[in-house]
Amino acid sequence: MADELEFDLTLYPAPVLRRPALPVEAFDDELAQIVAAMFRRMVASQGVGLAAPQVGLKKRILVLNDSGQPADDLVLVNPTLVERSGPPVTFEEGCLSFPGIYAEVERPENCTVRAFDVQGQPIEATYGGFVSRIIQHEYDHLEGVLLVDRMSRADKLRHKTALEELVDRYKRSQPTGAQR
C-alpha cells in the first residue's frame, strides 16, 4: 500500500514523552492503522515493545512482542495495571527513545492488566517474565515515566554523556527560538 502510515521514533527529551497519554475513544480503522504502523516501527527498530507517545501520539496504546513470532503480537489499548505481584526482579532494559542506553531496573515479577484489544474486546490477564517486564516498561510511557527516571544514580552518571547528547540532538532539531 502506497499510503501506509509511517512513524518515526520520538527520542528523549521530546515533551510528548513526558505528557500522560489520553484514552483511545474509538476502536475504528484509524486505530487499526496506527497499531499496524506501530508494529512496523517496532520491528524495524528491533524493539520488543512500543508505546504511542514514542511515535508522537498522546494515546494509550502499547504494542509488544517478546519473541519475534507474529503469533506473540500483543496490543493493549487503554491498559490499566490492576496489580503488580511477585518478587522484585532486576533486569537490564533498553528503550527505543534512548538509543544505545541500557540500565538495570527493578520491577515486580508479574503484572495483571485490564485493557482492550484493537477491536475493542476486553482483555484481562496476568503476565510474568519478559512480557510482564515489557508491559511495565511500556505502561510507564503512558504515564510520562521514562527509563532515565528508573535508573540508579550510578547508571545516570555512567550515561551522562549519552543523555546530554540526546538533549543536544533534540535542541538542534528544534526551530531556532523554540530552544529551552
Looking at the Cβ atoms of 7 and 120, the one nearer to Co ion is 7
Catalytic residue among 4, 106, 124, 138: 138
DSSP E strands: which ranges in the chain? 49-51, 61-64, 74-93, 103-116, 122-127
Least Cβ distance, residue 112 to Co ion (angstroms)? 21
The verdict on whether 25 is a catalytic residue reads no
Q: Which residues of 38-64 are buried (b: 16+ CB within 10 A; e: fewer)?
A: bbbbbbeeebbbbbbbbbebebbbbbb
Per CB under 5 A, the list member of 14, 38, 95, 115 interacting with Co ion is 95
Q: Give the burial class of 81: count Cβ atoms within 10 A of its Cβ; 0-12 exposed, 13-18 middle, 19 or more buried.
A: middle
Looking at the Cβ atoms of 95 and 105, the one nearer to Co ion is 95
Give yes or no for residue 34 binding Co ion (CB under 5 A).
no
Q: What CA–CA distance (Å, rounded) separates 61 from 139?
A: 9
Question: How many Cβ atoms from other residues are within 10 Å of residue 124's Cβ?
Answer: 10
Interface segment toward Co ion; rule CB under 5 A; list 83-91, 95-103, 110-118, 122-130:
95-103
Give yes or no for residue 50 binding Co ion (CB under 5 A).
no
Looking at the Cβ atoms of 121 and 169, the one nearer to Co ion is 169
List of residues contacting Co ion (CB under 5 A): 95
